[in-house]
Amino acid sequence: MYKIRTFDTYLADALRAADMRILHGPAAFGQTPYAKEYEVKRKAAAAFLANVGADGAVIDPLVRAPLPRGYRTTSRRRVMMLRREGQLLLANGDGSVPKVDAAEETLEPASHLGIFKSVETFLRRPRDPLAGAMNHVIVRGTYDEHVLILNVQFMDADIVRAAKRCAEYVRSEHPSVVSAWMFHDPRGSRYYLDMERTPGGIKSKKIFGHAAWRQSVNDVQYQVGVFSFSQINFAIVPAFVDVARTLAAVRPEDRLLDLYCGYGLFGASLASQVKNVVAMDLDEDTVGNARYNIGRAGGKALAIASAVTPQSIRKLWSMPRGRGAVESDVVILDPPRAGTAKGVIDAIAQGEPRRVVEIFCGHEEIRRSVREWKAAGYRAERIVPMDLFPGTLGLEVLISFVPERKR
C-alpha cells in the first residue's frame, strides 16, 4: 500500500545524503551551522512540496532566515520543583526535561535568558508564596522592549503582592522590561496562554506598563496586545509580509478578507492598497488591535470577533459590501497549526474570491488543503517556503490559489 511521505521523511533523506546528524528535541538544528541547516532544509522542502498534489505550481526555493539564532521574540519556561533535590527551577517550556535545553537557548536572545535567570533567582527566595502558584514565565515583545508575563495557577492578594515584588525586581535588573502582567490559568495547562478557560474569575491582571507593545514592519506601525498571537521570529516578518503581499497581488478595487487576522499584520500592510479590509479572529481584544492597526495604516476596516467557521464565512459573504466599487475579493488566511476547520475552504470558495493566499505553519496540513481547494475549483499557483523557525524542524509555507477558470 502506498504510504504518503511527510516532510520529516524527506528531511531524513537530505540528512543522510549530507552525512549529517542532528539533535533530538525542539531545537534539533540548534547546534548546527546555519549554512548546513539551510541546505538540508532547502532540499527537503523542494522534494516535499513537489509531492503535495499542487501540480503545475511554481515552487520557490526556501527563503533564508536573516537571523538564524537568537531570534525568538516569545519564549517561555515552565516552573518546576525537583522533589528529590527540593529545588525550584525554570525548565523547558513543556516541562518535558528537568533542565533547559542548551540547543534551544541558542534560539533565544541573551536578554530573555537574563530575564529568566532573574525570575528564577526571585522564586528561590524562602517562603515566597509566588513560587508555589507559578505555571509558566513568558517573555514577549520586541528585541528592544520586553513584556514579562507570570502565568499562575492560583491568584489571591498575597500572590498578587508577591508577583508585583517579582516584576519590580526583574525590572530593576533589566530596564528593557517595560510591561508586566499576571495571567491566571487555574487548570495549570501546558499551553502558556491557554484561552480555553472555565467561566468566571480574573483572566489577567496588570502589574505595570501597557496592554500592548508597538512594533514597525516595512514602515507600517502596529500595536500588539500582550496576550495576542504574534510571530515568534520578528526578524523575518518584513520578508514574510512582502511574500504575502506579492502572492495576494491586490488591486485598488479589491476587498481584502484577512481571516485568522491576529493583530492585523497582513490587513494593515495592504490596507492602503485595497478598497477595504474585513478582519476576522476569535479573540475580541486581538480583533480590536487589528481594527486599530488597519485604520492607522490608512485603511477602512470591518473587524469581526468570531471563530472562522463555514457559518461565519457564509454570513460574511451575505453582508452588504458597502459604498464604493468593490469588484472582487482577495483572501489571506493564516490558520493555526491544525489548519482550517472542516468546510471552511469550501465556504470561502463559494464567495468566488479572485485570489487566495493560505499560510501553513503545520506542513502536514498542506496536502489536505491543496486537495480541498482543488475540489472547490481552485488550483495552487505558487508555493513559497520560508525558514521562520531556524534551528528547528519547522517551516512556514505560503501558497497562492486561483480559480481553475477565470472568474
Query: Which pLDDT tens digit goes with each residue over 30-77?
Result: 999 999 999 999 999 999 999 999 999 999 999 999 999 999 999 999
Query: What residue ranges do the domains of the chain occupy?
Result: 34-67+215-403, 75-209
The answer to whether the beta carbons of residues 164 and 132 sit under 8 Å apart is no
Predicted confidence band of residue 191 (pLDDT cuts 50, 70, 90): low
- The response to whether 87 counts as a known ligand-binding position is no
Quickly name the fold that domain 75-209 has: OB fold (Dihydrolipoamide Acetyltransferase, E2P) (2.40.50)
Measured between alpha carbons, how far is 107 from 31 in angstroms, rounded to an integer?
10
In terms of residues, how long is the chain?
407
pLDDT single digits (tens) 216-273: 999 999 999 999 999 999 999 999 999 999 999 999 999 999 999 999 999 999 999 9
Q: How far is CA 394 from CA 86, 198, 325, 364, 369, in A?
A: 36, 32, 41, 11, 18
Q: First vs last Cα of the chain: how many Å apart?
A: 39
CA 123 – CA 169 distance, rounded (Å) = 11
Residue 97 has pLDDT above 60, yes or no: no
Query: Which amino acid, 161?
Result: R
Residue 372 is predicted with a pLDDT of 98
For the chain, the farthest-separated pair of C-alpha atoms sits apart, in whole angstroms, at: 70
Catalytically active residues are 361
Which distant-in-sequence residues (6+ apart) come within 8 Å of 24 by Cβ?
A: none
With a cut of 60, say whether residue 113 has pLDDT above it: yes
Residue 324 is predicted with a pLDDT of 61
Query: Domain 34-67+215-403 in CATH: superfamily?
Result: Vaccinia Virus protein VP39 (3.40.50.150)
Mean pLDDT, the chain, integer = 91
User: What integer pLDDT is reported at residue 188 of this predicted model?
Assistant: 80
Greater confidence (316 vs 24) lies with 316
Residue range 137-172, pLDDT digits in tens = 999 999 999 999 999 999 999 999 999 999 999 999
Q: Quote the DSSP letter at residue 3.
A: -
> Residues 304-310: what's their mean pLDDT?
96
pLDDT for 195 equals 53
pLDDT score at 304: 96
b/e code 130-150 from CB counts within 10 Å (16+ = b):
bbebbbbbbbbbbbebbbbbb
156 is in an annotated binding site: no
Strand ordering across the sheet containing 254-259 = 58-59, 378-386, 396-403, 355-360, 328-333, 254-259, 276-281, 301-305
The pTM score is 0.93
pLDDT band at 26 (very low <50, low <70, confident <90, very high): confident
407 pLDDT band, cuts 50/70/90, is very low
Q: pLDDT tens digit string along 364-404? A: 999 999 999 999 999 999 999 999 999 999 999 999 999 99
Q: Which of 174, 190, 26, 192 is nearest to 102 (CA)?
A: 26
DSSP summary character for residue 78: E
Task: For residue 334, say whether it is annotated as part of any ligand binding site.
Answer: yes
Can you give the pLDDT at residue 104? 83
Give me 375's grid cell.
475540489
Task: Check whether 260 is labelled as a binding-site residue.
Answer: yes
Model confidence at 98, pLDDT cuts 50, 70, 90, reads very low
Residue keyed to cell 460574511: 316
111 in helix, strand or coil? helix
Q: Please give, one letter per residue, the 3-state secondary structure of 229-296.
A: CCCCEHHHHHHHHHHHHHHHCCCCCEEEEEECCCCCHHHHHHHHHCCEEEEEECCHHHHHHHHHHHHH
